[in-house]
């Protein structure tokens, strides 16, 4: 089968190759998926750029969508022909979805509802599951006011949509008028351009001086200093990412104001939590409640361009590789 892979870490143009590799055979408990679309996430880029090389050859990407074409022992043959989306394709294993086929645990291949295209299915594993978990791991957000930094980003745009479906008021920070329009199209009640506006002052103005109930944070290291300016006492910061590896948290203010921090990574959800989130996401898909934004698609041969597009930080939406 054709696949993209790398054997050393480094820049996309230097290390990514496309060629023929062995087609996987599903092991007991696994299904083999003929991949139609593979999602490229920032975590895929970060792994290739600087994290330890876990295996001699890595086929990247955790997210994808396609059709089951073979099953291993213990998996019902009725799954053959089923359209699916994948979770954790290249998490602690060498072969992800940037290939014509992937063999993966049956529980990590989720039925893809009718009416949802494979390109959208390739956006579900990390962006949508992360958004859904961020909004449900610490209680109901109905009636709350949320601050969503990066509300036009791949995860942030889904956070905005799901939060609105759950009955929250959403304030999204963005970096341009175009991204503000994108966040509002997702349902954001208010947008703040952090490049031209004072985020703290605007949040206090919008909330009548109360502050938000919850921050759903994409970059704690970059934004931690804003917490006292935007969060109410006894508020919560849900953290799913940070660009710098360390964050300078305003600890004394947080202690005095009884602030709760909740950290999580989608890859390490328990089976029970992951399955419940996947079921809930599929219900949203069946209802047609989610708006998907595919910023750009690339054929497998152009995987270098796909990774560089994610690295640029300029695209608005998800990057998908088609096979």
Predicted local distance difference test score (pLDDT) of residue 313: 82
Q: Which residue spans of the chain are classified as CATH 3.90.180.10?
A: 2-123+292-322
Q: Where in the chain is the domain with CATH 3.40.50.720?
A: 127-266
What's the rounded Cα separation, in Å, for the pair 207 and 196?
Answer: 19
Q: What is the pLDDT of residue 314?
A: 82
Q: Mention the CATH class of domain 2-123+292-322.
A: alpha beta
Q: What is the pLDDT of residue 51?
A: 66
Give CATH superfamily name and number for 127-266.
NAD(P)-binding Rossmann-like Domain (3.40.50.720)
pLDDT score recorded for residue 247: 95
Question: Residue 10 has what pLDDT?
Answer: 94
To 5 degrees, how large is the angle CA 62–CA 48–CA 22? 60
Could you tell me the end-to-end alpha-carbon distance of the chain, in angstroms, rounded to an integer? Answer: 11
Q: In this predicted structure, what is the pLDDT of residue 54?
A: 84
Position 50 scores a pLDDT of 79
Task: Find out whether 309 and 295 touch, Cβ atoms under 8 Å.
Answer: yes
At residue 40's C-alpha, the angle toward residues 286 and 179, to 5°, is 75
Give the C-alpha separation, 11 to 185, whole Å. 34
Which string of DSSP letters, residue by residue, matches 47-103? HHHTS---SSSBB--SEEEEEEEEE-TTS-GGGTT-EEEESSTTSSSSB-SSBSEEE
The pLDDT assigned to 235 comes to 98
List, for the chain, all residue ranges whose pLDDT scores fall below the cut of 70.
51-52
């Amino acid at each position: 089968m054709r696949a993209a892979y790398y054997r050393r870490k480094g820049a996309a143009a230097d290390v990514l190759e496309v060629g023929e590799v062995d087609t996987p055979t599903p092991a007991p408990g696994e299904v083999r998926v003929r991949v139609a679309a593979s999602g490229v996430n920032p975590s895929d880029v970060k792994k290739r750029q600087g994290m330890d090389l876990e295996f001699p050859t890595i086929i990247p990407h955790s997210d994808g969508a396609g059709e089951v074409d073979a099953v291993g022992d213990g998996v019902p043959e009725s799954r053959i022909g089923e359209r699916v989306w994948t979770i954790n394709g290249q998490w602690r294993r060498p072969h992800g979805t940037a290939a014509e086929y992937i063999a993966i645990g049956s529980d990590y291949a989720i039925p893809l509802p009718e009416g949802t295209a494979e390109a959208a299915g390739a956006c579900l594993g990390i962006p949508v599951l992360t958004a859904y978990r961020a909004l449900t791991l610490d209680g109901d957000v109905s009636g709350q006011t949320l601050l969503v930094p990066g509300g036009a980003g791949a995860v942030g745009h889904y956070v905005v949509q799901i939060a609105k479906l759950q009955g929250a008021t959403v304030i999204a920070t963005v970096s341009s008028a175009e991204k503000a329009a994108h966040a509002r199209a997702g349902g954001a009640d208010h947008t703040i351009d952090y490049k031209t506006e004072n985020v703290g002052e605007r949040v206090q103005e919008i909330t009548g001086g109360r502050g938000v109930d919850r921050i759903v944070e994409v970059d704690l290291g970059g934004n931690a200093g804003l917490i006292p300016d935007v969060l109410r006492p006894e508020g919560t910061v849900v953290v799913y990412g940070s660009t710098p590896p360390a964050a300078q948290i305003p600890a004394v203010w947080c202690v005095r104001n009884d602030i709760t921090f909740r950290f999580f990574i989608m890859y390490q959800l328990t089976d029970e939590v992951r399955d419940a989130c996947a079921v809930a996401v599929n219900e949203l898909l069946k209802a047609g409640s989610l708006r998907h934004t595919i910023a750009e698609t690339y054929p497998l041969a152009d995987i270098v361009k796909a990774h560089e597009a994610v690295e640029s930080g300029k695209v608005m939406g998800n990057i998908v590789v088609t096979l």
